[in-house]
Structure 1
Amino acid sequence: MTGKSLFSSESDFRSGSWHECKIIYSFALLCIIMRPRKRRIVDFEHSARHFRPFGPESEIPEEVLLTIDELEVMRLSFLENLSQGEAALRMEIHQSTFQRALKKALEKVTDALVHGKAIRIEGGDYRMPRGDGTGPAGQGPVGGGRNRGQGKGRGGRFGGPDGNCVCPACGYETPHTPGVSCSQVKCEKCGSSMVRK
């Protein structure tokens, strides 16, 4: 860019518009040197992937897409009652990133509830520790989604080879088999997918 395209006259450019040049230069640098997006840590396998309002099966409601990492943000905030700072540390992201993700997730869920839309949970930019089905709570990634469970993060603080798989539908428990994700095990009583206790 030349001075003439930024300022009304050449004399404006020469006479004290250095501050404006610095602002434009700084903005250009920010555009060039943007940080890559950091993949978020997800410590929990969410087995339910689709919610829809009650109504005739023939009606197909509009859907809202909630990503796995957005659901994890809500889980840490409201079910584990972590502060935003603690939850951000757990997900290995900045607190401001956590706040934005929480706001976005709450807006999506509110939109779905108020307007009678279905919620589909999939995708996102995240990683699960170990990513091999033995991650936190002994569970690996399930469902479809971009970058799902490809991380090589630190080991989780839950589970490991011991523990139980439990059926969320009927409560039936069975010992966890090391190396096999609980989500791959079907309940012997009702046939539902199990989750790690």
Structure 2
Amino acid sequence: MPRKTRCRKVCCDYGNRRFHTEDRRDTQHITVEEVEAMRLCDMEGLSQDLAADMMEVSRGTFQRILYAARKKVATALVEGDDLLIGGGHYEVASPCHEGRRCCKKCRKNMDQPS
């Protein structure tokens, strides 16, 4: 019997949830934690070890999440599919991963005047 999926930590909930193509052939569904994994590694440039720590998952789990996300995005780009972000098992970390290293997105929001 498989273990229960642990809740993954993400920095924020994403506002853009759907990306359309011109011909809308099919839809690739990607979870919020898959987007977060790509953001941490590909945008922030973090190692998989540090990114896994920020999401509170093992490195192996993080790698599976990241590879699944990259495959879905690549398929959407090559095949011309829509990309729909939603679902998953996550919670938004507060504030910015509870004192751990701040991500660029949170630093940008802190630098902007209110």
Q: Under TM normalisation by the shorter chain, which class is it?
A: 0.7 to 0.9
Letter paired with 1:124: G
Write out per-residue CA displacement over residues 127-175 of structure 1, whole angstroms, 9 at most, x where no aligned residue: 1124xxxx43xxxxxxxxxxxxxxxxx746556xx9466xxxxxxxx61
Match of 1:115 among 72, 79, 88: 79
Matches within 5 A, 1:48-87: 48-53=16-21, 55=22, 59-87=23-51
Q: Structure 1 residues 47 and 90 mapped into 2: Cα distance closer, same or farther (>3 Å)?
A: same
**Runs of 5+ in structure 2 lacking a partner?**
none
Alignment of 1:44 with 2:12, yes or no, is yes
Greater fraction helix: 2
Is the contact made by 1:129 and 1:156 (CA closer than 8 Å) also made in structure 2? no
Is the contact made by 2:12 and 2:93 (CA closer than 8 Å) also made in structure 1? no
Matches within 5 A, 1:67-146: 67-130=31-94, 135-136=95-96
* Inter-partner Cα distance in structure 1 for 2:61 and 2:110: 33
CA RMSD of aligned residues (A): 2.2
* Inter-partner Cα distance in structure 2 for 1:105 and 1:76: 12
Q: Which stretches of structure 1, 4 residues or more, deviate above 6 A after TM superposition?
A: none
Is the contact made by 2:24 and 2:80 (CA closer than 8 Å) also made in structure 1? no
**Alpha-carbon deviation of 1:124?**
0.8
* Inter-partner Cα distance in structure 2 for 1:72 and 1:52: 20
Is the contact made by 1:66 and 1:121 (CA closer than 8 Å) also made in structure 2? yes
RCO greater where, 1 or 2, for CA within 8 Å and sep 6 or more? 2
* Inter-partner Cα distance in structure 2 for 1:99 and 1:79: 16
**Alpha-carbon deviation of 1:60?**
3.8
**Alpha-carbon deviation of 1:52?**
1.3
Task: Give the corresponding residue for 1:141.
Answer: none
Bigger Rg over Cα: 1
Residue aligned with 2:60, SS:
helix
Instruction: Using the aligned pairs only, state the percent identity.
Output: 34
**Alpha-carbon deviation of 1:98?**
0.5
**Alpha-carbon deviation of 1:43?**
1.0
Write out per-residue CA displacement over residues 11-70 of structure 1, whole angstroms, 9 at most, x where no aligned residue: xxxxxxxxxxxxxxxxxxxx3xx43211110013322111112x2xxx543111111000
Give TM-score scaled by structure 2 length: 0.81
